[in-house]
């Protein structure tokens, strides 16, 4: 019995140094574990930040995303075509329309942002930006419509006055010369009627806020009116002067930029 107790006591005294070493080792490694945990938390937080700013999906349900994708696909091509048309208008008449160049640059920037969101698959946000771009495009078309309306009205008034003078003049001309002048006046009056019809159609478009279509009709009206002015002149020199005076308008009617004589690209 005494021998058993002595053996147990000796065994306990042998384990004590080993336990002391293990405890010391654990205490020494504690700061390292803490550092690794902190580093892991920081890494997770960093990854979360990147995900949030770069690739985190937008918060929208399936139906919202479905409608947004459909809407973006519907208007994206139209917007790009309108930017191309507006670039021509700005190049030809931007100096006569207040703020046109600045508005055009904003439209381009907004379209760029909308497309960037589409490629990031943020379709709802892309659709909102595309809708904002459409409104900005409409507003800029409206500004050009006002200029075109005033210019077309002046041209048509000038044409009407010249037509009346030409009719009076030809009534006193005898023979073949009178018949030739009468035919020329008749064809000019037909062109003038078309110009007025195009102006009336433009007014209809304006009443329904379809300013882009109004621009198309007013371009045609101006083109026909300029042709009337030119055709009623007998002198080739005066005809050339009229063509030179309205060179920008004639190029614009064909969708060409006066700066390059070619169609613009967005």
Q: What are the b/e assignments for 62-95, b being 16+ CB within 10 Å?
A: eeebeebbebbeebbeebeebbebbbbbbbbbbe
Look at residues 78, 71, 227, 200 and name the one whose alpha carbon lies nearest to residue 141. Answer: 78
Are residues 130 and 188 located together in one domain of the fold? no
| 181 lies in some domain | yes
Are residues 162 and 237 located together in one domain of the fold? yes
State how far the Cα of 266 lies from the Cα of 43, in Å rounded to an integer: 43
Look at residues 240, 203, 246, 197 and name the one whose alpha carbon lies nearest to residue 223. Answer: 246
Whether the predicted pLDDT of 234 surpasses 50? yes
| 81 lies in some domain | yes
Are residues 177 and 152 located together in one domain of the fold? yes
**Which residues span the domain enclosing 207?**
144-253
Are residues 121 and 182 located together in one domain of the fold? no
Q: What average pLDDT does the chain have?
A: 81
| 9 lies in some domain | no
pLDDT at 176: 53
pLDDT, mean of residues 8-28: 49
| 154 lies in some domain | yes
Are residues 168 and 238 located together in one domain of the fold? yes
Are residues 158 and 187 located together in one domain of the fold? yes
State how far the Cα of 103 lies from the Cα of 105, in Å rounded to an integer: 5
Are residues 133 and 150 located together in one domain of the fold? no
Are residues 174 and 221 located together in one domain of the fold? yes
Look at residues 126, 133, 114 and name the one whose alpha carbon lies nearest to residue 58. Answer: 126
Phi, psi at residue 201, to the nearest 5°?
Answer: -65, -35
Are residues 160 and 245 located together in one domain of the fold? yes
Are residues 128 and 157 located together in one domain of the fold? no
| 32 lies in some domain | no
| 187 lies in some domain | yes
Are residues 134 and 148 located together in one domain of the fold? no
Look at residues 137, 146, 27, 147 and name the one whose alpha carbon lies nearest to residue 85. Answer: 137
* Domain boundary, last residue among 112, 138, 164: 138
* Domain boundary, last residue among 95, 111, 138: 138
Are residues 107 and 165 located together in one domain of the fold? no
Element (H, E) at 173: none
Name the residue with higher pLDDT: 171 or 169.
169
Whether the predicted pLDDT of 8 surpasses 60? no
* Domain boundary, last residue among 138, 155, 186: 138
pLDDT at 16: 54
| 103 lies in some domain | yes
pTM for the full predicted model = 0.73
Whether the predicted pLDDT of 152 surpasses 60? yes
| 19 lies in some domain | no
Share of the chain above pLDDT 70, in %: 72
- Model confidence at 17, pLDDT cuts 50, 70, 90, reads low
Number of domains in the chain: 2
List the structure tokens of 15. 């384990």
């Amino acid at each position: 019995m005494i021998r058993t107790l002595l053996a147990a006591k000796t065994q306990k005294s042998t384990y004590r140094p080993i336990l002391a070493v293990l405890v010391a080792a654990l205490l020494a490694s504690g700061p390292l574990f803490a550092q690794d945990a902190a580093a892991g938390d920081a890494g997770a937080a960093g990854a979360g930040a990147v995900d949030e700013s770069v690739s985190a999906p937008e918060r929208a349900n399936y139906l919202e995303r479905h409608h947004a994708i459909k809407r973006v696909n519907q208007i994206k091509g139209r917007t790009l075509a309108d930017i191309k048309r507006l670039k021509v208008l700005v190049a030809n008449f931007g100096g006569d329309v207040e703020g046109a160049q600045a508005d055009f640059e904003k439209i381009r920037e907004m379209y760029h942002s909308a497309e960037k969101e589409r490629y990031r698959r943020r379709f709802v946000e892309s659709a909102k930006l595309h809708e904002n771009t459409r409104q900005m495009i409409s507003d800029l078309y409206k500004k050009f419509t006002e200029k075109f309306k005033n210019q077309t009205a002046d041209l048509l008034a000038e044409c009407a006055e010249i037509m009346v003078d030409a009719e009076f003049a030809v009534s006193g001309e005898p023979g073949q010369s009178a018949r030739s002048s009468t035919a020329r006046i008749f064809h000019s009056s037909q062109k003038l009627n078309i110009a007025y019809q195009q102006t009336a159609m433009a007014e209809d478009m304006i009443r329904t806020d379809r300013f882009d279509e109004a621009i198309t009709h007013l371009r045609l009206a101006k083109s026909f009116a300029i042709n009337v002015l030119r055709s009623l002149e007998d002198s080739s020199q005066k005809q050339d002067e009229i063509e030179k005076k309205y060179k920008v308008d004639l190029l614009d009617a064909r969708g060409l930029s006066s700066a390059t004589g070619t169609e613009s690209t967005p």
